């Protein structure tokens, strides 16, 4: 799509598409990951033939990727669970109240992208007090493994941890630098770089910035970091930040790396207003931009050449995995029954791999958003 999807628009989509409980029809995906939310992870129905409740919530609908995971969970629930996707509104007290309500309504499993990772023990205690209800954390990683280990019914589903996809992002910059010598505009052998970071309170924000830069320098490309600051995962905030940087440095900027696609889209808006990247890679003035998530609205920008690529976080597989695990837990089965991913030893965590997305393999990313 050729438009920016704002946090407000995403919130509207959530309100329309997620408020209703999941229907009883089901459209399984391919392979075991697709089956995880349908047959393999199907929970036992109640004696009245009603579907069990999955209490599910995202930390904020203003985070585009978080909203896509919420939608994937909702889709995977068909025929397995009844659920609403609650919006935590980036407020932990709001989310705490939502979890209390989920449990009071008899949720068999809780699945949340927690607003504040330090609140994970509180949510675990709520689940224990409600009768040892299983809880699955997703998207935001609980890095303190002792928290998850404290409860044998606590699990995580995230993308691959550690570098949070940033090593792939950095390698894509390295590959583009090597394939396009003109990227070194001043011929000094250094990459003049600006970096838009995510919310400092998010576990992925700092590692993404650090690992992307480390991958570039480890490949033998020195970096001159012109600017680095947070865009808070937000398109509008990233645009404001980039407006100042493009005004200050102009064509001196040789690359923009962004902690997510929402910020990359904001950076693109800014530099296009300044006359860059208006005709894709054929533009007279061009600054390579790269993000992480491979959101649908980003894929069209990759296809047009306005940005060089992104790193796929597979929201669809994560959503199906969450629902598959929840169905197994509610049905008294082993948590990983029928799921074609492995539980990380000693972490009670399932990691869905990242993947580089460029113009050459857009179909891989597009397929993850197909209904």
Q: What CA–CA distance (Å, rounded) separates 266 from 235?
A: 4
Is pLDDT above 70 for 355?
Answer: yes
Instruction: Tell me what pLDDT residue 48 has.
Output: 54
Instruction: Tell me what pLDDT residue 1 has.
Output: 37
Percent of the chain residues topping a pLDDT of 90? 80
Percent of the chain residues topping a pLDDT of 70? 87
- Which pTM does this prediction carry? 0.81
Average pLDDT of the residues in 296-302: 96
Minimum mean pLDDT among 41-50, 226-235, 331-340: which range?
Answer: 41-50
Which residues neighbour 213 within 8 Å (Cβ) at sequence distance 6 or greater?
170, 193, 195, 223, 225, 257
Of the pLDDT bands very low, low, confident and very high (cuts 50, 70, 90), residue 37 is very low
Average pLDDT of the residues in 298-313: 97
Is pLDDT above 70 for 13?
Answer: no
Instruction: Tell me what pLDDT residue 211 has.
Output: 97
Mean pLDDT (the chain) is 88
Q: What CA–CA distance (Å, rounded) separates 94 from 88?
A: 6
Is pLDDT above 70 for 369?
Answer: yes
- Of 23 and 147, the one with more pLDDT: 147
First to last CA, the chain: 16
Is pLDDT above 90 for 24?
Answer: no
Q: What CA–CA distance (Å, rounded) separates 121 from 128?
A: 10
What residue ranges define each of the domains in the chain, with the CATH number in brackets? 7-162+314-352 (3.40.50.2300), 166-291 (3.40.50.2300)
* Long-range Cβ contact pairs of 270-273 (< 8 A, separation 24 or more): 270/238, 270/239, 270/242, 270/243, 270/246, 271/242, 271/246, 272/306, 273/243
Of the pLDDT bands very low, low, confident and very high (cuts 50, 70, 90), residue 182 is very high
Average pLDDT of the residues in 330-344: 95
Q: What CA–CA distance (Å, rounded) separates 162 from 348?
A: 16
Q: What CA–CA distance (Å, rounded) separates 98 from 120?
A: 14
Minimum mean pLDDT among 1-5, 141-145, 366-370: which range?
Answer: 1-5
Span 55-111, pLDDT tens digits: 999 999 988 899 999 999 999 999 999 999 999 999 999 999 999 999 999 999 999
Instruction: Tell me what pLDDT residue 160 has.
Output: 77
Q: φ and ψ at 337, to 5 degrees?
A: -55, 125
Q: φ and ψ at 43, to 5 degrees?
A: -80, 160
The 10 Å Cβ neighbour count of residue 107 is: 26
Q: φ and ψ at 301, to 5 degrees?
A: -70, -35
Is pLDDT above 50 for 21?
Answer: no
Q: What CA–CA distance (Å, rounded) separates 349 from 351?
A: 6
CB-facing half-sphere around the CA of 59: CA atoms within 13 A = 20
Span 232-281, pLDDT tens digits: 999 999 999 999 999 999 999 999 999 999 999 999 999 999 999 999 99
Look at the alpha carbons of 127, 68, 230, 155 in this order and tell me if their dihedral is positive or negative: positive
């Amino acid at each position: 799509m050729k438009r920016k999807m704002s946090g407000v628009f995403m919130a509207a989509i959530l309100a329309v598409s997620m408020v209703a409980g999941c229907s009883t029809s089901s459209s399984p995906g391919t392979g075991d990951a697709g089956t995880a939310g349908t047959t393999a992870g199907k929970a036992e129905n109640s004696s009245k033939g009603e579907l069990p409740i999955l209490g599910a919530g995202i930390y904020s609908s203003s985070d585009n990727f978080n909203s896509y995971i919420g939608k994937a969970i909702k889709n995977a629930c068909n025929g397995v669970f009844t659920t609403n996707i609650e919006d935590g509104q980036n407020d932990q007290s709001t989310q705490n109240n939502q979890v209390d309500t989920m449990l009071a309504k008899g949720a068999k499993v809780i699945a949340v992208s927690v607003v504040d990772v330090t609140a994970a023990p509180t949510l675990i205690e709520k689940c224990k007090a409600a009768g040892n209800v299983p809880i699955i954390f997703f998207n935001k990683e609980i890095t303190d493994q002792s928290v998850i280990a404290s409860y044998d019914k606590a699990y995580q589903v995230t993308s691959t941890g550690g570098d949070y996809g940033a090593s792939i992002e950095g390698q894509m910059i390295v590959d583009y630098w090597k394939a396009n010598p003109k990227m070194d505009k001043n011929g000094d052998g250094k990459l003049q770089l600006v970096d838009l970071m995510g919310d400092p309170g998010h576990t992925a924000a700092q590692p993404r910035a650090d690992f992307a830069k480390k991958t570039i320098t480890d490949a033998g490309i020195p970096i001159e970091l012109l600017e680095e600051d947070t865009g808070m995962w937000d398109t509008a905030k990233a645009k404001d930040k980039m407006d100042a940087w493009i005004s200050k440095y102009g064509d001196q900027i040789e690359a923009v790396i962004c902690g997510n696609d929402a910020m990359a889209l904001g950076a693109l808006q800014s530099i296009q207003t300044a006359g860059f990247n208006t005709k894709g890679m054929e533009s007279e003035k061009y600054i390579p931009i790269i993000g992480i998530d491979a959101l649908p609205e980003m894929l069209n920008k990759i296809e047009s050449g306005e940005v060089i690529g992104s790193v796929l976080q597979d929201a669809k597989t994560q959503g199906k995995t969450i629902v598959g695990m929840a169905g197994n837990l509610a049905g008294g089965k082993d948590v990983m029954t029928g799921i074609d991913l492995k539980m990380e030893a000693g972490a009670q965590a399932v990691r869905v791999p990242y993947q580089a997305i460029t113009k050459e393999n857009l179909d891989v990313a597009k397929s993850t958003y197909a209904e």
